[in-house]
Each structure stands twice: as structure tokens, then as C-alpha cells.
Structure 1
Amino acid sequence: MVKKYVKSKKLGIHNEKKLFGIGILYLLPALILLGVFLFYPMIKTFYFSFNEVTGGGLVKDFVGWDHYMKLLHSAEFRKSMIGTFLFVLYTVPAEIIIALFFAVIASEKLKGIGIFRTIFSSTLGVSVAAGATIFLFLFHPSLGVLNNILGFVGIDGVEWLTSSKWALFAVAITTIWMHIGINFIILLGGIQNVSAELYESAKIDGAGYWARLVKITIPMLSPVLFFVTIIAVIGSFQTFGQIDILTGGGPAGSTNIIVYSIYQEAFSYGNFGFASAQAIILFLVILIVTFIQFRVGEKKVHYQ
């Protein structure tokens, strides 16, 4: 009996190793892609952040923590980080609230609602370059539609992209419009997955539309809202295209948020080491913010 047990145990270990090897073989293409396009660039960026790097990507001198110390004492970097957090604050709540409003409307069983669902999700099919170009014309100081509307109601036009006061807000409006589509689709899918039995039971108990929305829809949608909030925050931190097209980081650096600052340092000024240090700090900031979201936000999530 002992020999049979030992033999079966060895056979089980052998089968586990075999299955593990087969699993690794199936995962190998994904691991190679992640290694080449994710892990290797991250390691290389971390390495560059401690070195002086030439324009060709060649390491010149080891400088240790010099780049990080310069960032800590840089007024421009502090301004860039403040602008980044303001940008996140402008965009994330607005895009989620608007997308949720559209999703609630589109979840109703009304005639022709499919047309509105298509309209609400249409921004998903617009590229960053195309969307930013559209708003570039809308924000034009003299020919733009927005200023013409303001002038029609007797309000002076706004220097949307040429004023330090308004430029970041204008880019935020563009970003909100671009992100509504994907957030709408995710939230609509979440609402449609809420059990119809819950609504029927609430109706029998005499709950009205707003009571069902607050007591059933929102709580049951909390896992989806939690997910959407996380990806919205990360997406806002990584915004680049619309800033490059609309303002180029200006005026006076008011829209020079961290990602665009990294781009300028690396590809405009050739300071790859300094830009790599900024990229590492951005990674740590996003990591900390996401960790806080999980620690705080997940406690308020109601799973079915």
C-alpha cells in the first residue's frame, strides 16, 4: 500500500509539472509580448532615470539620484503635477456622471432608443487626433461655435486655448467628450445586467422610479462604477494627444501636464534620463492613487 501511495504521489507530481509546462507554453506568446513591450521598457526607463543618456539612447554617465533631486526642486515640475491633478479632478467626475446619466436614459425600453445609444457611444469611434481637431475649431476665438453662442446671448467670447485661466479647462472639456463613449457602454452593460426581479419586487412594494434608481440601480452598479473610475483616473493621468494638438503645453505651461512634460524633455530637449525620472514618478503616483482607490472605494462596492 505504501509503495502504491508513493507511486501515485510521484505520478501526480509528474502530471502537475506536465500541466504547468503546457500552461506556460500556451502563455508564452503573451509573456513574450508583455516582456518586449511592457517589462523591458519599464526596466530600461528605471535604468535611464539614474543615468545621463544621449540623444541616441546611449548611456553617458551614472548620475544616481540627481534627476530625482532636480525634480523635487523644480518649480516647473511642481506646476506640472498640480496641473495634472487639477486635470484629473476636472475630467473624471464629469465624464462618469454624464456617462451614467446617458446610460440610465438609454436603459429605458423606449421606441427608437437604439438611435440614442448609437449617438451616446459614438465618441468611442473618434480618434484622439480627430476629436481634438474638432474642438480646435469649436474653441477658435473668432470663428468658433462656442464663442458665437456666447456672443449671441450677450456674453463676451472666451480665450479658450490662449488664456492660462481657461486652457486646461478647455482641454478637460475635450477629454470628457472623448471618454463619454467608452464609459457609457460599460455603464449601460452594467445596468442591463441588474436583475429584473429586483425592480419587480420594488414596484410591488410601491417604490417609485427615483427610489428604484437610488436603492437598486446605483448600488448594483457599484462594481462597474468602481472599475470605470479606476480606468478613468489612469486615462486622465496619461492624457497626451489632445494637449499636443490643442495647446502644445501652453500657454505659459498651464496645460503642460506630466505626460506632455515627459514627451518634451525626451524628444524636444533630448533629456532622456530626466524624462525617465519623471516617468517613474508618474508610475508611482498612479500606483499610489490606484492603491488608495482600492483601499477606500472597494469597501463601498456591493457585489450581487
Structure 2
Amino acid sequence: MSISLRAISRRRAMAAVGAATVLALTLSACGSTDHSSMPGMNHGAATSSASATGGTHGMDGMDGMDHGAVSGDGLAAEKDGYRLDSRTTTVPASQADPYAFTITGPDGKPVTDFTVEQTKLMHFYAIRSDLTGYQHLHPTMAADGTWTADLAALTPGTWRLYASFTPGSGSGKGQDFVLSRTVTVPGNAAPTPLPAASTTTTVDGYTVTVQGEPMAGMAHPLTVTFAKDGQPVTDLQPYLDTYAHISAFHEGDQSLAHLHPETPVNGDHGGPNLSFHAQLAKSGNWRVFLQFQTGGQLHTAELTLRVS
């Protein structure tokens, strides 16, 4: 009996060791992914931060480069101790206006050390609640950590403003953040219905076509094709170190996603096809703004993409 019990004990111990080994390998595999990810850009996996309202000033709080998985939705004003702060809650209608803000760190002080991402220290986006009026800006920072984004004229309504950045030091060093707040533009806010889902659109004489069937929460290949006057476009120029930049906003909650092509940059010879490895966290309609450059001119193509 004692021999049998010892044998059983040894078998249980070996089973426990085996299970622990499997668990360790699993955690190691999960941990091998770079977690410093910009929401929607596949640099690494991280838990999506919940939408938040807040701030000391009573404002509302706020998915690819293909190196990992989706992180966050950009709908929080604060994440991991980093916070988007601004005294501005109202912006005048129909006139350009500078939007001043700071990024404060876990110590409550303005952050002044940032890492360059896609040639810029800060990327800033504005979108109205009906997903119109898209702006993609690159603010400037003063020595005290105050940023200024020169917003073009906004139409009446509620707008969400997003700041995308990577701290260069501190607890968040190397981690990509997207934080946002809302502002109100006074006046008669007439909502614009979201255009129907389509795989093709035209801007400045260029026809942009998206091929692929993205599914929520799953990495999925997309191909974007460029043509002009019925001919393939092969002279795309680098823009922010890549041949295209996609910002996508989810209908209803304005979740933000970033997509960038896997296609390597080779001078002014981009196109006609760009490959993307897209991962969009939510099903439904996404309003897509695809920016590309030719002949020194920046173009912004817009379409509605349906995600299953």
C-alpha cells in the first residue's frame, strides 16, 4: 500500500510539474508580444481601456503597423497614470482656433519627453460625433509641456479630440497611448447621415478600392488599390514614413483605429497595391480616412467599411 501511495504521489508531482511547465511556456509566449502598442496598431497586446468621462475641467474622457495585436480604443482621457488635460471645453464655430493641452504623467506633472513615432512627437485627431470633419494634425510643444493643435474651423456639434503619443521616459516609456476629450462647438448642429458601406471611393481624381472582409477582433488582410484615369498608380510618395495612413472611427462610440501598410517604402514608387493586416476590435460600420501623397500633395479618401 505504501509503495502504491508513493507511486501515486510521484505521478501527481510529475503531473504538476508538467502543468506548470505548460503554463510557463504559455505565459512566455503571451509575454513575447511587445505591449507598447498604439491603439489599433498592431505593436502589441494590451487591455482595452474603458471609456471615461472626466477631468478636472469637466470634459469627457476619450486599431495597423503589424507587429502584434490591438490595444485600447482611444476613448479614455486617462490611462496608466497618463492624462490628457485641457481647460478648453468650448470651441467657437466656423473659425480656426488653437487647442491647448498637456499630457500629465503619473506624478501629476506635464510630460515633456516624447519619442518620435512616424516622424512626429504627437499625432492629433479631431472628428465630429457623426464622423464628419476629420482633421489629422501635428501639434507643437512649448518648453513647459503645453501642446498647441491649430484646429481648422469646426462646425457646430460635439467633437472628440485625440492625442496619440509615446513617452520617452518614466513608467510609460515606449508605450503608445491614445487619449481623448470632447469639446462643444455652439450652434445649430445638423447631423450628417453616415454614407453607406462601400469598397471604393474617389478623391482628387484617384480611385481607391479596398479588398478584404475584416471581422471584429480578428487580424485580417486588406489590400488597397490606387488608380487614376483607369491606370494603376505607381508614384505614391512616403507620408509619415509609409505609403498610406488610415484613421478609422467606429460608428456610435467613435473608437479610433490606426492602420498602416506592410508594403515596404521604396522612394516615390508606391502602389498600385498596398497590403494591410487589419484588426478592428468591434463589428459594425467604421468611417475610414485614408491619407496618401502624390506629387507633394496630400489626399484624404473617405469611405465606410463594414466589419462583421
TM-score, normalised to structure 2, is 0.26
Structure having the higher Rg: 1
Specify which structure has the higher proportion of helix.
Answer: 1
Q: Higher relative contact order at CA 8 Å, sep ≥6: structure 1 or structure 2?
A: 1
Specify which structure has the higher proportion of strand.
Answer: 2
TM-score, normalised to structure 1, is 0.26
